[in-house]
Amino acid sequence: MKVLLKPLQILYVIYAMIMFVIMMLIVVPVVLVASFFGKIKGGNAVMRIVHWWADAWLFMIGIYHKRIIEQEIREHQSYIFVSNHNSYMDIPQMLKAIRQPLRILGKAEMGKVPVFGIIYNAAVVPVLRGSAENRVKSVKILRSVLNKEISIYIAPEGTFNMTDKPLIDFYDGAFRLAIETQTPIKPLLFLDAVDRMHWRSIFSITPGKLRTVYLEEISPEGYTPFDVPAFKQKVYDAMEAKLKEYKASWIKPPSPKGE
């Protein structure tokens, strides 16, 4: 059966990639125009455009989004959204999951990709992880964004989780920023992104569901900058427990002793 389905999978991947490129070429001129309206109005417009891009592309390739709400997002509340990260499909899923004014913290290197980089640089607050000066600049931008009732999305693992564990270690940045600005953390779980597109290859894409679980927000109230490790661990533990509860597909139980 797998042998018979392989040609269909190849055709589907080709179709999905062609649709991605076509949608990108349609979006780029609109993003360029929106960018002239400044960092706030223009940035908000760019995010609405990429939301539309995600909606259209996922619909055309047979991927649908399902919300599982443990606690709804509050209107007119800025959040620092965090999620697990183990697939390139996380970004389209994030765009489906968060439908409010938003900025994304992302790797500056992605902004150098031809054509795609135009959209990326307009929608993302870039950071060079090896540059302390660049990190400080990025944090200043993020603080300014939060003050204007715009939320932020950060993948605190920093890179793909390529293990069979629920999560890999978190960086401090999201949690330090939350404490310094007293902005609640809103954890999201992306349960199916790695099944729709495995981290090993963008050519592993398949149609199907993308489930997002909206966990209870976690307030930084009462925490100081000295408490970043404890606050980070609190969020990590909450996400890890729920990923196990929802039986995320990449998690493998420990082998019985003696095997």
List, in order of start, the domains of the chain with CATH numbers. 2-245 (3.40.1130)
3-state secondary structure of 131: coil
CA 180/CA 16 separation, integer angstroms? 42
Kindly report the number of other CB atoms within 10 A of residue 118's CB atom.
18
CA 176/CA 161 separation, integer angstroms? 22
Q: Are strands 208-214 and 185-190 parallel, antiparallel or unpaired?
A: antiparallel
Q: In which band, very low, low, confident or very high, does the pLDDT at 143 lie, cut at 50, 70 and 90?
A: confident
CA 43/CA 40 separation, integer angstroms? 5
CA 161/CA 170 separation, integer angstroms? 11
Overall average pLDDT of the 221-239 stretch: 96
Q: According to DSSP H, which parts of 36-131 are helical?
A: 43-60, 90-97, 116-123
Question: What pLDDT, on a 0 to 100 scale, did the predictor assign at position 222?
Answer: 94
Question: What pLDDT, on a 0 to 100 scale, did the predictor assign at position 112?
Answer: 77
Q: In which band, very low, low, confident or very high, does the pLDDT at 129 lie, cut at 50, 70 and 90?
A: low
Quickly list DSSP for 87-111. Answer: -TTHHHHHHHH--SSEEEEEEGGGG
CA 185/CA 251 separation, integer angstroms? 24
Q: What is the DSSP letter of 163?
A: S
In this structure, what is the dihedral angle of CA atoms 94, 100, 106, 109, given to the nearest 10 degrees? Answer: 100
24-74 tens-digit pLDDT: 999 999 998 988 888 888 888 999 999 999 999 999 999 999 999 999 999
| Least confident stretch, 97-111, 136-150, 217-231 | 136-150
| Least confident stretch, 22-36, 44-58, 73-87, 103-117 | 103-117
Q: Angle at which helices 116-123 and 43-60 pack, to 10 degrees?
A: 130
What pTM was computed for the model? Answer: 0.90
Taking alpha carbons only, the member of 108, 136, 137 closest to residue 121 is 108
